[in-house]
A and B are shown apart, each in its own frame.
Chain A
Amino acid sequence: MKGLAPIVAVIAVLAAVPFIVQSNATLNFLVVSLMVALAGQGWNILGGYAGQYSFGHAAFFGTGAYVTAILQVRYGVNAWVGFAAGIAAGAALGAVIGALAFRSGLRGSYFALVTLAFAEVLRILASVAPITGAGVGTLIKLDLGAQTFQFQSRAVFYWVILGLVGVSLAAARLIEHSRLGVWLIAVRENEDAAEALGVNARSVKSLAMVISGAITAAAGCFYAQYFLFVDSGIAYGTWISIEALLTPIIGGVGTVFGPLLGALVVKSLGEGAKLVTGDVPGLDLILYGAVLVLVIWFTPGGLIGGFAQLRKRLMRSATRAAASIQEAGHG
């Protein structure tokens, strides 16, 4: 399939990392970064390609995490089945929120606020409902084994999340090159013009929301499996809503590799800030904000957009230089 080669190459390179890096702290950092990249890719399908900016992707992340955890703890369901059910629950929630928001024609900031409201309502419900463990949260019993989706080695978790990220990258690429992708971008750029060309804006946006919800929920399922603990503040907290939208915006909104690049950069900056400032709470958030402002200021297309611009400028000056050399030769 055309366009998948770069994805395979990037995943192959990243897959080699655990052979070189043995430090648990570093691997842990990479696992969390990849998990955020996965959540961000989910956001990117809806926000980047379809242009519907959600402020509440925690709704999907948390649903994935809770469904995975609760099915195992309360109903004794196999962890892998729970994982798949979590992804399906994210997709279903996407369909519900999409139907409600798009049917009533919400766009732009209204859509963003509604998604935020959904995430907050779910957070509050999860913090009081008995089934989620209310304020105490849900703890998955430690039981190492492939069958329980629990691994001693961080490297295995790293490969699992890397595999999921690889699938999400391939999904983004396939969507980009499909009719759905073309129509999503058309809706993002101009909904009326798209409708005039036969695009059912409501249904393509809803479909994007379903795919988006499934991918971000997968990140949540992974969270539950990796940390073996979920509570309402983690699962439905604003932190993940923010990181899910920040990573693609910084990396390159509406690009395949944007979320991955953004996640690695943002997470590295966060760690860097912690090293410099010690553990002053909130300082890494201030840094996030500053980086976001700088990126949007200088390259509205994110880092990938910035690289593309730089390359174009270099090529233009190169051709100009070549032309002037030629002219000098003629003179």
Chain B
Amino acid sequence: MAEPLLAVDRVTHRFGGLLAVNCASLTAREGCITALIGPNGAGKTTLFSIISGFLRASEGTVRYAGEDITGEPAHRLARRGIARTFQIVQPFAGLSVRENILVGAHLHQRAREMALAAAEQIGRSVGLSDLLDQPADTLTVAGRKRLELARALAIEPKLLLLDEVLAGLNPSEIRDIVPVIRGLCSRGTTIVMIEHVMQAVMSLAEHVFVLAEGGVIAQGTPAQVAADPVVIEAYLGHGAAAKLGASHGH
């Protein structure tokens, strides 16, 4: 079997005395959508920050496209093709939507005209056509999520880390954006997504990793993971799986 595009191997991260990520391993196969789920505080975003170079792992290694990238700074990883979105969206407030996307588009395109054209095209592809000249800070939550996605796409990533891009959206907005994500994948971008919206995880992801208290407690297809008693307990508390099982039994 070919080496996965991303391989996180036994990564541990401590914030002072707090063990945020504890010996977690996961892989993402090229061209697939991999989901990372888990209860709040499980360490999902911390793990993303380590993969994307914003935090340095206390222990363990991260391999990407066959190379060890542990501890490389974020801007260099972006050049290698790793893009991330932020859970708390962070638009460049003083700039228009188009200029926000332009920041990313300039990574591989120095000439302003070419970069602007690329930015415009990416803006359209995520459904921001009518908002390109709006100041970024006037966008709605849904608009900001799309902008966050567009900016990340502008650096032409091979690996896209999406940190809760669906959170805070209403069901119809989620229905609108899910095909956009699926479209990216079908064009060859490998995606790892942190998501709480299970309906989207079920329909998008091919493989799911479940993180709880810093460690990976389960993995498999969405259906396998949803039925796993360990996962149910992690979300609903100790003994919940047994109770559920018992109530089904009656």
Contact = CB atoms under 8 A, between A and B. Distances in A.
Interface of A: 177-179, 182-183, 185-186, 188-190, 192-201, 254
Interface of A is mostly: helix
Contacts of A182: 99, 102-103, 106
A198 to B, nearest CB: 3
B107 A198 contact: yes
14 contacts: A185-B92, A185-B95, A186-B92, A186-B103, A192-B86, A193-B86, A193-B90, A195-B73, A196-B84, A196-B86, A197-B154, A198-B75, A198-B107, A200-B73
B103 A192 contact: no
B107 A197 contact: yes
A195 B74 contact: yes
A189 B74 CA distance: 17
Given A189-B92, A192-B90, A199 B112 contact: no
A197 B103 contact: yes
Contacts of A179: 106, 110, 112, 115
Contacts, number: 76
Contact of B103 (A178, A183, A254): A183
B78 interface: yes
B17 interface: no
**Range of interface residues on chain B?**
20 to 34
B112 A192 contact: no
A197 to B, nearest CB: 4
B112 A194 contact: no
A197 B78 contact: yes
Contact of B94 (A177, A183, A185): A185
Contacts of B112: 177-179
Nearest to A301: B94
Given A182-B106, A183-B103, A198 B94 contact: no
A190 B107 contact: no
A196 B106 contact: no
Contacts of B75: 195, 198-201
B147 to A, nearest CB: 11
Interface in B147-194: 151-152, 154-155
Contact of B54 (A178, A192, A198, A254): A192
Contact of A195 (B78, B110, B115): B78
Contacts of B107: 197-199
B61 interface: no
Nearest to A254: B94
Contact of B104 (A178, A198, A254): A198
A186 B106 CA distance: 12
A196 B154 CA distance: 11
A179 B154 CA distance: 14
Contacts of A201: 75
Contacts of B115: 179
B106 A183 contact: yes
B45 interface: no
Given A185-B94, A185-B95, A190-B90, A196 B79 contact: no
A189 B94 contact: yes
B83 interface: yes
A197 B105 CA distance: 9
Interface in B113-156: 115, 151-152, 154-155
Contacts of B78: 195-199
A197 B79 contact: no
A29 B99 CA distance: 40
A48 to B, nearest CB: 11
B102 to A, nearest CB: 6
A198 B91 CA distance: 15
Interface in B14-71: 52, 54
B54 A195 contact: yes
